[in-house]
Structures are given as C-alpha cells and as structure tokens.
Amino acid sequence: MPIKTHARNVSIELLRIVAMFLILACHFIIHFDWDSHHLRMVLPQEPGWRSAFRFLIVQYGQVGVSIFFIISGYFLVEKSFKWSRLVKTWLQMFCYSVVFLIIVLLLGTFHHYPMAVEPVMRGPDLYRSILASVFPFFYNSYWFIGAYLLMLLVAPYLNALFDTLPRRSMGLLIVLLGFFSIQILIFGRTSNWNNLVYAMLGYLIGGWLRKYYQDYADRFKTFPMIGIIAVLTAFMVAFNHYISEPSWLVDFMGWKDRIHDGIVPFPIVIGALVFIMISRIDMNQSPAMAQRVICTIAPTTFGIYLIHENWFGFRIVWDYVSKMSYPPSAPILRPLVGICIIVAVFIILSCISWLIDTIIVHPIEKTMLSQM
C-alpha cells in the first residue's frame, strides 16, 4: 500500500505524537531519578545491561527526532519556500523561551526561585540564562529547533537537488551523509556530523520517500521491517553494554564517550522504517473521535518539546516529577510505572502547550504575518 498523501493525514499526525513521546521518554530517562527525588543532570554510564537499556531509550529519542525531520522532507520536498514557515517556528520558540524567563523572574522577585533553577539565576549564570532565553537560536537553547530552522533555510536547495539529480545520485547523497554520522566511530578522531547535516539527512530521506517510495513499495514488507528494527535495536543494546566495560579497543577508539549518541545511523534507519509503517496505515478510516484526539494533540508536540527542554523548563519539570514520584515496591514494575509517568507528563505538557499557543503564540503570529 502506498504512503497516503491526504492534506490532513491522520497517520502523519499520529507519527508526530509517537515521535515526541520517544523524545520525552529519552529526557525522562536522563533527568528523572527514582532514588534521590531530585533532578538528574547527566545519566551516569555504568557497566551492565541495565545501563545499556537506559541508554537505548536515550538513543530512541533520536528515532523521534529523525521522524520529525523525515516528516518535514516528506511534506516540503514539493513545496516552494515560504518565510512564514520560518517565522512561525522561530516565533514559537522565542515566545516559549521568553515566557519561561518572565515566569522565573517574577517568581524570584515576589517569592523565590524554584530550587532546581536557583543555581542558574545568580552570578555570571544569571546573565547567561537571560541571554539564552532572549536569544534561544544563537545560544542553541533548543538544538532540535535550531537545526529545524536551518533545515527550513536550506530546504529549497535540497528540493532543487531532487529536481536536477537522478534518483541514484540522491540515494548516494543520503548514504554519504549517513557515513558522516558514523565516521567518528570508525576513525575515532574527527567527524563531519553536526545538527544541520542530521536535519538535512532526515529531510532527504523524507523527500526520497515522497518521490520514489511507490516504485519500491512492494519491497517494504511489514514483518521484515519489524525484524530489521529488532536487529538494529539488539545491536544498539550490545554496543552500549560493550563500550561500558573495560576494553583496550573501546579506549583506543574513544567509544566510551560516544554512548549518548550510540550508533547514530541506526536510530535514523529505525525512524525511517517507523515512518513507513505508520504513515501507510489509513488512520483516516479510524473512528472520528480518535481522529479528533490525534489532530488536537499533534499540533502541541513542538510546544511539549519547547516546555520540557527549555533552559528553565527541564529543570522545573523533572525536578518536580522526581519529587512527586516514588519507586514501586517491586522493581519489575518500574518500567510500567515509568511509562505511566511519561504519559501523564505528556498530557499535562500538551495542555499547557495548547494554552500558550492559543493565548500568546497564535495572536502574535497572526499580527506579525499580517504585516509581511
């Protein structure tokens, strides 16, 4: 079955939700601490399978990021450049960043700073916090949104490549950029991989699927794709486990410092396969209530990211959640309880995002765009 191309494809909206859930789960694993009941800034790398699986979830956050880039390429590869897309994304990022700054400053003025935020609101860190909030793009306060904005800028040139280069050349370009992502693991010295290259690779994969998928649709069978995802996931866990144990090869190649990113191409491939499997499900035939729920939540996903990855937001969210949550008596129940916590946080942040967008972002956006 070919990928659907409806103007309002409910399957794609569902993909946005799945992608943001994976990103939220990634940050939950990094920052949430069952035992100390305080925000954890860095996930410790420890020997053993437990740590390996924790970092697998972190790396699955990159599956979510890849899906967002792929969705963008899929929808924009045949569209002309519009400044309004860039302005909307930048404005949403700026509004969320400034709103959080104002809230924190008001709390500090009339009450006191939240405990997790207080250290970054004194001394030189105070000025850094203000600048990071007022200039979030230049201070890379949101690396994903920053990469997304750059991707929108280069999108017309990537689209021109699709229009001028043969299919084989575009495929080879995707392979080349994919090689950049694994270059540091092979040579252990340098890498040409960065956030923009990452975004471009996802965009090109999405564009390739939009233009050429139907010619190869019969090769993308569901069960083989699930098998590939399972095999790549197993390799990711094994790699995480291996590089956390003493080894001369790990030391020589510098792999121990690479556990956060892991084997970068694998999450990208998994993201592409998840995109294919979900996007070709005809969710437009699902119950009307399910469609309304999906299409209501999906537009809030960027806002969810902007809240829980904000300079102050991630400190407040995960410190508060850590204080409110206690581990279940049976350790085996931790994963289930963890999923419930992630779902609850997702829903709450989605509601907050809807309010901020409705009350602040959309009115300002409407005013600004009317002047353009």
pLDDT per position as a tens digit, 135-164: 999 988 899 999 999 999 999 999 999 999
What is the structure's pLDDT at 4? 46
Token pair in block for residue 59: 């790396």
Separation between Cα atoms, residue 312 and residue 323, nearest integer Å: 17
What is the structure's pLDDT at 50? 92
Separation between Cα atoms, residue 63 and residue 131, nearest integer Å: 30
Given the structure tokens 């203000």, which residue do they identify? 130
Q: Judge whether residue 299 has pLDDT over 90.
A: yes
Instruction: List the Cα angle 146/149/150 in 5-degree steps.
Output: 90
Q: Judge whether residue 257 has pLDDT over 90.
A: no
What is the structure's pLDDT at 2? 43
- Confidence label for 288 from pLDDT (cuts 50, 70 and 90): confident
- Confidence label for 371 from pLDDT (cuts 50, 70 and 90): confident
Instruction: List the Cα angle 233/234/240 in 5-degree steps.
Output: 90
Token pair in block for residue 167: 């299919």
DSSP-derived 3-state class of residue 185: helix
Q: Judge whether residue 5 has pLDDT over 50.
A: no
What is the structure's pLDDT at 8? 65
Q: What is the b/e burial string over 329-340, where b = at least 16 CB atoms within 10 angstroms of the residue's CB?
A: eeeeeeeeebee
Nearest to 219 by CA among 209, 234, 232: 209
What is the structure's pLDDT at 41? 87
- Mean pLDDT of all residues in 25-50: 88
Mean pLDDT of all residues belonging to the chain: 90
Decide: 240 and 46 in contact? Cβ < 8 Å: no
Q: Judge whether residue 190 has pLDDT over 80.
A: no
Token pair in block for residue 210: 């939009």
Nearest to 175 by CA among 146, 152, 204: 204
Q: Where are the beta strands (DSSP E) in the chain?
A: none
What is the structure's pLDDT at 74? 95
Separation between Cα atoms, residue 80 and residue 246, nearest integer Å: 52
Separation between Cα atoms, residue 231 and residue 247, nearest integer Å: 24
Q: What is the b/e burial string over 141-165, where b = at least 16 CB atoms within 10 angstroms of the residue's CB?
A: bbebbbbbbbbbeebeebbeebeee
Report percent pLDDT > 70 for the chain: 98
- Confidence label for 6 from pLDDT (cuts 50, 70 and 90): very low
Nearest to 103 by CA among 93, 91, 117: 117
What is the structure's pLDDT at 1? 40
What is the structure's pLDDT at 370? 77
Nearest to 312 by CA among 126, 75, 46: 126
- Confidence label for 25 from pLDDT (cuts 50, 70 and 90): very high
| Number of residues assigned to the chain | 372
Nearest to 97 by CA among 65, 143, 141, 127: 141
Given the structure tokens 């098998």, which residue do they identify? 227
- Mean pLDDT of all residues in 218-232: 94
Q: Judge whether residue 372 has pLDDT over 70.
A: no
Decide: 327 and 35 in contact? Cβ < 8 Å: yes
Decide: 90 and 360 in contact? Cβ < 8 Å: no
- Mean pLDDT of all residues in 192-221: 93
- Confidence label for 297 from pLDDT (cuts 50, 70 and 90): very high
Report percent pLDDT > 90 for the chain: 63
- Mean pLDDT of all residues in 256-269: 92
What is the structure's pLDDT at 109? 85
Residue 351: CB atoms within 10 Å: 14
Separation between Cα atoms, residue 191 and residue 179, nearest integer Å: 10
Q: In Å, what is the CA distance from 171 to each residue of 27, 228, 325?
A: 32, 20, 47
Of the two residues 5 and 301, the one the predictor is more confident about is 301
Against a cut of 0.85, is the pTM above it?
Answer: yes
